[in-house]
Structure 1
Amino acid sequence: MNDIREQIGILVEVQDVEMEINKADRQIQSLENEADALEHAAGEYEDRVSQEKTALDDLRKSYRELESESKINAAQIVKSNEKLRSVKTNKEYQSILKEIEEIRKKNSAIEDQMLERLEAIETAESTLNEKQSELADFLRECKEKKESLLVKAQRERQAVETLNEKKGQVSAKVDSKWIAVLDDVKKKVRGLAVVPVQQAICMGCHLNIPPQLFNELQRFDEIRYCPHCHRIIYWKEQDSE
């Protein structure tokens, strides 16, 4: 076999292995991104439930404050009633009665607020219990999915290790200078660095190459490049059919 033909064949094989590695790397990244997204979603769900719990705690605190205020007012009414027994003038008597009435009105409004808080607390507790149950199910589902994704990612990493070993074995068959050339071309072009020429058309940029270059390619006497995209190009024998 012509040496250049063989060298190009090995470069194509190296390129094929690199494509498999890149594909596996992208798959690993995709799996890890999906796992991160699940973790993020779980964190957001936990935050929402935590906010609802905080809101419920605030309602309970507000209820306790109202309850405390109501007890203070009730005690004040008791004291005021006791004072009534010792008043000496009608004016003072009427003043205390007015004070008691105002406290009772205030307490009535507080009791209304307490009832509203109790209803809100009951609704919030029911909602929170439901959300906590849903959260537990969601976290369990996220954990299972994440574990599955990470297992798949680990399999892909093992595949990459195997492919890297294969790449090393294949690369060892070709002159190291051509591996350097391949790496240099890869930096300059997008996609494949080694492409065939079919019917005088570069399969990298899909432009026609000059007839003389097409004839020279068929000699396989040196590595040649597309004059348009600067990829390494080679002739495939089916063009002669």
Structure 2
Amino acid sequence: MKKKLEMLEQLQEIDVQIDILKNNQSGLFGEVSGIEQELDSAREVVAGLEARIAQLEQEKAEFEASLATEQENIRRSETNMKEIKTNKEFQAVGREITVARKQTQEIEEQILQKLGQVEEVNSELAGRRADLTLLEQNSEERREAKQTEIDALQGDIDADVARRAEITQALPPGLVKRYDSLREQRRGQAVAIARDGYCLGCNMNLPPQLYNSLFRADDLISCPHCQRVLILKQQQAG
């Protein structure tokens, strides 16, 4: 029975180590995900600026079309003025031309404003694209470094899993099942150290008769409080 207890203790040490390795690996996966999210955010900014430029260009094109229409109206009105015979008609067309010229001036101002906005956004876009290029290069290096760490941890996990399999195969299936069930119920700790009359798993006092029976190590004894399998570890003299 002492040998089985030692194997259970080894099994728990391996499982704790596997948990630590997997937790570290999960953290690295989270960092890789963070790198991807950072890239996605930068790409969204670039895409948003590109969409803004396309919108401004479309608005500018619409103003340019309106300007061309107004300029054509002015030319047509000026041509018609040559054929007008009455002063009243001449004044009416003149007013139309004045209004049209004012409209063309306003449209030209709008076009200049759009050109300025396009130039401003293009300048920002150029900077964002440059930043994105650097970020993509840097992110690739960071991803590769994280993946190397992940792969190294996986190698350690695989080695521990193999060691675990050797131990579980040497133990009775019922005992392994009991151990796994306890480990699941007790936050990863199925085996607890007993010392000086206490269970160090739950820090509760053990009944004296039960504690004394641990010295014989002829049976599996569980803590009556937390149900963990107890292994006696006496305090070594200093």
Q: TM-score, normalised by structure 2?
A: 0.95
Q: Can you give the 5+ residue segments of structure 1 that lack an aligned partner in the other structure?
A: none
Match of 1:232 in 2: 229
Q: Partner of 1:234: helix, strand, or coil?
A: strand
Q: Tell me, yes or no, if structure 1 residue 62 matches structure 2 residue 59.
A: yes
- 1:170, distance to aligned residue in structure 2 (A): 2.5
Please name the residue that 1:206 is paired with: 203
Q: Is the 8 A contact 2:196 2:234 kept in 1?
A: no
Name which of 137, 141, 151 aligns with 1:140: 137
Once the two structures are aligned, what percentage of the paired residues are identical? Answer: 24
Mapped pair 1:24 → 2:21: yes
Separation in 2 of the partners of 1:188 and 1:121? 63
Matched letter for residue 131 of structure 1: R
Contact 1:63 1:114 in 2 (8 A): yes
Q: Which amino acid aligns with 2:8?
A: L
SS at match of 1:113: helix
* Separation of aligned partners in 1, 2:184 and 2:198: 22
CA contact (8 A) 2:16 2:188 kept: no
Name the amino acid aligned to 1:143.
Answer: E
Which residue does the alignment assign to 1:85? 82
Letter in 2 for 1:195: A
- Partners of 1:205 and 1:71 lie apart in 2 by 86
- 1:20-78 per-position Cα deviation (integer Å, ceiling 9, x unaligned): 11111112211112111211221121112101110111111111111121122112111
| 2:47 counterpart letter in structure 1 | S
- Separation in 2, partners of 1:180, 1:18: 14
Partner of 1:106: 103
Checking the alignment, whether the CA contact within 8 Å between 1:52 and 1:128 is kept in structure 2 is yes
d(CA) in 2 for partners of 1:188, 1:86: 102
Contact 1:194 1:232 in 2 (8 A): yes
* 1:240 positional shift: 8.5
Following the alignment from structure 1 to structure 2, what is the Cα–Cα distance between the partners of residues 178 and 98?
103
Q: Does the Cα contact within 8 Å between 2:201 and 2:228 map onto a contact in 1?
A: yes
RMSD: 1.6
Q: Which of 180, 193, 210 is the aligned partner of 1:196?
A: 193
Q: Extract unaligned runs of 5+ from structure 2.
A: none
Equivalent residue letter for 1:130: G
Letter in 2 for 1:141: N
- Matched to 1:150, the amino acid is Q
